[in-house]
Amino acid sequence: MNWLPWAVAAWLLGIGLYGVVTSRNYVHLIGCLSVVQAATYVLLLGVGYRWNAVAPIFYDHPPGTPSVDPVVQALVLTDVVIGATVTALLLAMALQLHKNRETLDPQQLRPLRE
Amino acid sequence: MSPKIRLLVFLAAVVCILPAVGRLALQMPAFGAHPLPYGDAIDAAAPGERHVTNMVSAINFDYRGFDTLGEEFMLLCAVTGTVVLLRGHRGEALEARPGIVRGRAIAPRSEAVALISRLTAPVIVLFGVYVALHAMTTPGGGFQGGVIIATGMLLAFFGDGYPGWRRVSNSKVLDAFEGGGAALYALCGFASMLLGLPFLTNFLPIGTLKDVFSGGLMLVENAGVGLAVTGSFLLLFLEFLEETRTKKPKDGP
Report chain B (253 residues): mean pLDDT per 10 consecutive residues: 87 94 90 91 91 92 92 93 85 74 81 94 96 92 94 92 88 93 94 92 88 90 95 94 76 52
Cα of B195 to nearest chain A Cα, Å: 28
Give the residue-averaged pLDDT of A25-40. Answer: 95
The question of ipTM being above 0.90 is answered as no
How confident is the model at residue A63, as a pLDDT?
A: 87
The whole-model pTM stands at 0.90
SS3 state of residue A58: coil
User: Residue B178 and residue B169: Cα distance in Å, rounded?
Assistant: 13
The predicted pLDDT at position B105 comes to 80
Q: Do B74 and A14 touch (CB under 8 A)?
A: no
- What is the pLDDT, as a whole number, of residue B251? 54
For chain A, what are the domain ranges?
4-108
A85·B79 Cβ contact <8 A: yes
Would you call A56 and B64 a contact, using CB atoms and an 8 Å cutoff? no
Residues contacting residue B245 through CB under 8 Å, at least 6 positions apart: B90, B91, B96, B97, B98, B99, B162
Q: What count of Cα atoms within 13 Å lies in the side-chain half-sphere of residue B224? A: 26
Closest residue in chain B to residue A75, using alpha carbons only: B60
- How would you class A85 by CB atoms within 10 Å of its CB: exposed for 0-12, middle for 13-18, buried for 19 or more? buried
Which residues of chain A neighbour B6 with C-beta distances below 8 Å?
Answer: 21-22
Q: Give one DSSP letter per residue of chain B, joined into a string.
A: --HHHHHHHHHHHHHHHHHHHHHHHHHSPPTT-S--HHHHHHHHHHHHHH--SBHHHHIIIIITHHHHHHHHHHHHHHHHHHHHHH-SSBS-STTPPBP--TT---PPPPHHHHHHHHHHHHHHHHHHHHHHHGGGTSS--HHHHHHHHHHHHHHHHHHHHHHHHHHH--HHHHHHHHHHHHHHHHHHHHHHHHTTSPTT---S----TT-TT-STHHHHHHHHHHHHHHHHHHHHHHHHHHTTBPBPTTS--
The residue of chain B with its CA nearest to that of A108 is B2
Q: Are A89 and B78 in contact (CB under 8 A)?
A: yes
**Among A23-32, A89-98, B56-65, B105-114, which stretch is predicted with the lowest mean pLDDT?**
B105-114
How far off is chain A from B156, nearest CA to CA, in Å? Answer: 20
Task: Using alpha carbons, select from A2, A20, A25 the residue that is nearest to residue A98.
Answer: A25
The answer to whether the beta carbons of residues B133 and B99 sit under 8 Å apart is: no
A 79-108 near B (Cβ less than 8 A): 80-82, 84-86, 88-89, 91-93, 95-96, 99-100, 107
Contact B174, B186 (CB under 8 A): no
For chain A, the average pLDDT equals 91
Question: Which of these, B177, B48, B24, lies nearest to A2 by C-alpha position?
Answer: B24
Q: What is the pLDDT of residue B249?
A: 58
Q: Is the dihedral of CA A40, A46, A47, A53 positive or negative?
A: positive
CA distance B57 to A73: 10
Window 119-158 of B: residues touching A by CB (8 A cutoff) are: 137-139, 141, 143-144, 147
Close Cβ partners of B209 (under 8 Å, ≥ 6 residues apart)? B47, B51, B52, B53
- For residue A1, is pLDDT > 60? yes
Shortest CA distance from A4: residue in chain B? B25
Helices (H) and strands (E) in chain A, counts: 3, 0
**CB–CB contact B14 A14 (8 Å):** yes
CATH number of the domain located at residue range(s) A4-108 in this protein: 1.10.287.3510
Per-residue model confidence (pLDDT) at position B222: 95
Contact criterion met (CB < 8 Å) for A100 and B253: yes
Which of left, alpha, beta for B32 (phi over 0: left; psi -120 to 50: alpha)? left
Judged against a pLDDT cut of 60, whether residue A2 lies above it is answered with: yes
CB distance B53–A46 less than 8 Å?
no
- Summarize the confidence of residues A100-106 as an average pLDDT: 86
Q: Which of A:9-68 have CB within 8 Å of B?
A: 10, 14, 17-18, 21-22, 24, 46, 48-51, 55-59, 63-64, 67-68
Residue-level pLDDT at B248? 63
pLDDT in tens, A46-74: 999 999 999 999 998 888 899 999 999 99
Average confidence (pLDDT) over A18-36? 94
Inspect the interface and report whether the beta carbons of A63 and B26 lie closer than 8 Å.
no
Judge: A70–B56 Cβ closer than 8 Å, yes or no: yes
Show Cβ contacts of residue A53 under 8 Å, excluding neighbours closer than 6 positions: A65, A66, A67, A68
